[in-house]
Amino acid sequence: MYKDKRPTKFYNIGISYVKADATIRGKFSLSKENQIALLEEAKGLGMNELFVLSTCNRTEITGFAEHPFQLISMLCNHSKGSVEEFAKVSYVNKGKDAIQHLFRIGTGLDSQILGDYEIVGQLRQAFKQAKEIGTTNGYLERLLSNVMQASKRVKNETKLSSGTTSVSYAAVQYLINNLEDYNTKNILVFGLGKMGKHTCKNLAEYTKNKTVSLVNRTEHKVEGFIKENNSIRHAKYEDLHQEIIKTDVLIVSTGAGQPTIDKSHIPIGKKILILDLSMPANVSPSLKQQEGVEIINLDELSKITDKTLAIRKKEIPLAESIILTHKEEFNEWLNHRKFTPAISALKQSLQAIQKDEIDFHKKKIENFNEEQAEVITSRLIQKITTQFVKHLKNENTSINQSIEVMSKVFGNNLETINATEDY
């Protein structure tokens, strides 16, 4: 589907928490600037139908290409990961498998914490970003629309998202389950992105700790948040070192591209628990060797399970049936889009034959009833085209091959349809 009409297929390539640990995911993580640069490069190459998704749990590219390596190469060029590393932990989905993958992501079935719907907003933003740059098409728009419809139904009609099991919730549960006196510990939250806000709110909701402090590089953001959450203390960014010296638990959610906490921040001999909620990791690996420092990362937090996950797992079959409904709806639209021009061309070919035959018989037969002949042959044309529509709608039918046969049988009118894209 490039500008020069080279044959392309629909792919989804990427890495996720399933095979890649937090360190590897961090290498392939794409900042917003790098996502934009990747999309601009694709556009410059004539690859105008793709979008990029990069979260703490996955980084992937979805769209059209001649070969998946084109997408893999761009991902590696714009991240810190290599092709060799990608090959060890990656997945490459094609055609129907890529469509199914997108439905599973959008409905929370493929989230690291089952039923986590934060990915839905991230998907919307990824598509919006690609649309602004100009790398989307009607196919992607329709597919995302069907995914979002399925997502909404799964959320409203099942218990797949019952209870609260987000990463920020898991962080608070970790403290509750592993620190006997968690309500009296000095807790410092560093970073006020979405994860930091949710962590502060979960600390307020699920604990009775009154010594939670919040520090962020941008001070005015903290001030606004503190006004709405007055149980949290505002700590100054310039006092970060002093604040860390006083704290027992440091929760890092800064979302930077490199470590924001390293050995210079933690005094030698200090005993401290650090929860790193950032992707890539924002706590320097060198701190793991420092005595007294315990670091818990995203992968370890995601192992926390409770009763709500057991309830959610029972809802998977219902969620999958909803997905099937919307996937079939998308496939019906897709097939209609592919075979409608072919049926129209077939009808034109048959009508040309009809005209020739009527003209022939008018000359040969005296008192020839042209009107009656036209009615009868028009009905035949309708029946023939209807049979072809039924054939093309059959899920076992190869539409491209069928159109190619139709073209050979009925002639030139269908030749322009032969290049129908293989999705």
* Of the candidate ranges 1-10, 23-32, 74-83, 142-151, the one whose mean pLDDT is the lowest: 1-10
Yes or no: say if 10 and 92 are a contact pair by the CB < 8 Å rule.
Answer: no
Whole-number pLDDT of residue 249:
96
For the chain, the straight-line distance linking the first and the last C-alpha, in angstroms and rounded, comes to 10
Domain boundaries, the chain: 9-163, 167-304, 340-417
How much is the pTM? 0.64
Looking at residue 387, the DSSP 8-state letter turns out to be H
What pLDDT score does 418 carry? 41
Mean residue pLDDT of the chain comes to 88
Q: Cβ contacts of residue 69 below 8 Å, gap of 6+?
A: none
Which token pair is 146?
């069907």
- Between CA 27 and CA 31, with CA 29 as vertex, the angle to 5 degrees is 125
pLDDT tens-place string over residues 44-85: 999 999 999 999 889 999 999 999 999 999 999 999 999 999
Is residue 282 within 8 A of residue 266, CB to CB? The reply is no
Cα dist from 129 to 15, 35, 41, 102, 205, whole Å: 20, 9, 14, 17, 34
Position 413 scores a pLDDT of 55
Query: Mean pLDDT lowest for which of 208-222, 231-245, 302-316, 320-334?
Result: 302-316
- The architecture of the domain spanning 167-304 is 3-Layer(aba) Sandwich (3.40)
Q: What is the CA radius of gyration of the chain?
A: 29
- Residue 225 exposure: Cα atoms within 13 Å on the Cβ side: 24
Looking at this protein, which amino acid is placed at residue 174? Y
pLDDT digits 0-9 by tens, 109-130: 998 878 887 889 999 999 999 9
Instruction: Please write the tens of the pLDDT for every residue from 11-22.
Output: 999 999 999 998
Q: How far apart are CA 57 and CA 79, in angstroms?
A: 15
Question: Confidence band (pLDDT; 50, 70, 90) for 307?
Answer: low
At the fourth CATH level, which superfamily is domain 9-163?
Glutamyl-tRNA reductase, N-terminal domain (3.30.460.30)
Residue 403 is encoded by which pair of tokens?
């159109």
292-311 average pLDDT score: 79
Which has the minimum average pLDDT: 82-86, 247-251, 340-344, 397-401? 397-401
Mean pLDDT of 296-316: 79
* Beta pairing, strands 249-252 & 233-234: unpaired
Tens digit of each residue's pLDDT (9 = 90 or more) over 165-201: 578 888 998 999 899 899 999 999 999 988 889 899 8
For residue 420, the model assigns a pLDDT of 38
- What pLDDT sits at residue 410? 73
Distance CA(64)–CA(46), nearest Å, equals 11
Residue-wise pLDDT for 234-268, tens only, equals 999 999 999 999 999 999 999 888 899 999 999 99
What pLDDT sits at residue 416? 45
Active site residues: 56
**Residue closest to 282 by CA, chosen among 253, 243, 313, 325:** 253
